[in-house]
Amino acid sequence: MAILNKDNSILLIIDIQEKLLKAQFNKEEIEKKTAILAEAASILGVTTIVSEQYPKGLGHTIESIKEKLPADTVVVEKASFSCCGEENFRNTVKGLNKKQVIVCGMETHVCVHQTVNDLIAMGLEVHIVQDAVGSRKEWEYNQGIKRMLHCGIIPSTTETAIFELLKDAKNHNFKAIQALIK
């Protein structure tokens, strides 16, 4: 297992859309932690990709997260449950030439799980931010995490991920990152 490196990482936010978020058992936690991750990515210059499952019917990424995203965030619309089922997504990830993917989003046992498996098959190191993923039912969330652990994911939390990206307290962004978790 490797420590995250901001220059070699992608933050992937999967399907945090209004109509989907309402049904999640841990919706407040997902929204709060993902907003922190998005803002940390903006501060630290971490490449960010957002997926949106059928936005015509489910809406777009919720505003509280969208407003924190880096300006150069790539948004990928999808119909497949796995982000990797979309050619545009696969080409974007390959073109970035990064080795680590930090994943948050919904739903843990469906879109997150399938995407993670495909990312691992592509040879990428995947870190799941467990306090920033969710499902409609807690039982489904737990099963999704268990399945991904068996597939080789690296479990993480919001704080673990952002402090690994930060590296040390001498980083000129330390105070801005520290303020996100207070």
Is residue 15 part of the annotated active site? The answer reads yes
Residue 127 belongs to a domain with what CATH number? 3.40.50.850
Q: Which of 6, 33, 68, 78 is catalytic?
A: 78
Is residue 118 part of the annotated active site? The answer reads no
Residue 145 lies in a domain: yes
User: Is 152's pLDDT higher than 80?
Assistant: yes
User: Is 1's pLDDT higher than 70?
Assistant: no
Q: How far apart are CA 62 and CA 136, in angstroms?
A: 17
Range(s) of the domain holding residue 149: 6-181
Residue 1 lies in a domain: no
Which tens digits make up the pLDDT trace of 56-84? Answer: 999 999 999 999 999 999 999 999 999 99
pTM of the model: 0.97
Q: Which of 33, 104, 111, 118 is catalytic?
A: 111
- State the total domains in the chain: 1
Residue 44 lies in a domain: yes
Residue 32 lies in a domain: yes
* Res. 109 pLDDT band, cuts 50 70 90: very high
Q: What is the pLDDT of residue 182?
A: 81
Phi first, then psi: give them for residue 17, nearest 5 degrees: -115, 150
